[in-house]
Structure 1
Amino acid sequence: MAARESARGGYKITKPILSGDYCEAHRRVMGLYRAYFRYLPYVVRRFDIPKTPQDCRMKLREYFYKNACVTDLRVIDILVIKGFMNLREMTDNFQQMGHVMAHWHPTLEPKRCDFIGKFLANED
């Protein structure tokens, strides 16, 4: 009897945070994308960053494609909540130009591990 109860205790049904199904989560993600997309021209003007709205749109698309493979509803909801919090910080001017420009760090290329690749890249 104790083994049966411990086996039942191993299961835990998790409740969704915001979205009930994948369609609702997709709707929230698209709403976040549209909100950022609409606010990007104001970001360029308000923070006086040396980027064009097109550059900002490409970076936004890169961030969203980076998380495109996430399928867990709870993770999607948490990412959407964090995205709306970040947008709210930008609109309320809690972030400054340095915070916005930090998104354009050079992307890291994977180090080459084969001999020819290291030789051509002039690495040891």
Structure 2
Amino acid sequence: MTTKCVRPLMSKEFTDARRRALGLYRAFYRYIPYIIKYFDIPKNEEDCRWKLREYFYKNSCITDVRIIDLLVIKGYIELKEITHQWQQKGHMMRHWSPSIERQPGDFLSKFFAGPE
């Protein structure tokens, strides 16, 4: 039985991949005020920070270095599209899909929320 040795994308070990992922997180975290300002989205910095944290926690269980590198590369591409304003306001708002946000459940909450 032989094993195939695959070539790494960028990182040779898990600590390198983790460092790159944290660098991406910091870059996005620093750019959040500019996202709110330039795209004029109706969210505050805290909402954006929670959404960023949610995306990184969603992939926190991944331990394969090649997959982490691939996700980091995709993240930097996304950041570049945002910083060069190749994305529009609609692209930013898709991260807060109405189906994800909690809908009012009881009668009074529905009444105060207004028509759907």
Q: TM-score, normalised by structure 1?
A: 0.78
Are positions 1:84 and 2:76 aligned together? yes
Paired letter, 2:64? D
Matched, 1:107 2:103: no
The counterpart of 1:25, out of the listed 11, 17, 38, is: 17
Count of paired positions:
101
Question: Aligned residue for 1:118?
Answer: none
The one-letter code of the counterpart of 1:37 is Y
Residue of structure 1 in register with 2:29 after alignment? 37
Q: Which of 59, 68, 88 is matched with 2:51 structurally?
A: 59
Unaligned 5+ runs, structure 1: 1-6, 110-124
CA–CA separation in structure 2 for the residues paired with 1:37 and 1:108: 22
Q: Alignment partner of 1:15: what SS?
A: coil
Deviation >3 Å, runs of 4+: none
Change (3 A) 1:72 1:34: same
Task: Tell me how far apart the structure 2 counterparts of residues 42 and 54 of structure 1 sit (CA, whole Å).
Answer: 13
Q: Aligned residue for 1:3?
A: none
Task: Give the superposed CA RMSD.
Answer: 1.5
Identity of aligned residues (%): 52
Larger Rg: 1
Residues 1:71 and 2:90 are matched in the alignment: no
1:107 maps to a residue whose letter is I
Between structures 1 and 2, the one with greater helix share: 1
The normalised TM-score by structure 2 is: 0.83
Question: Is the aligned partner of 1:94 residue 2:86?
Answer: yes
Partner of residue 6, structure 2: 14
1:41-94 superposed Cα distances (whole Å, 9 cap, x missing partner) = 000000000000110000000000000000000000000000000000000010
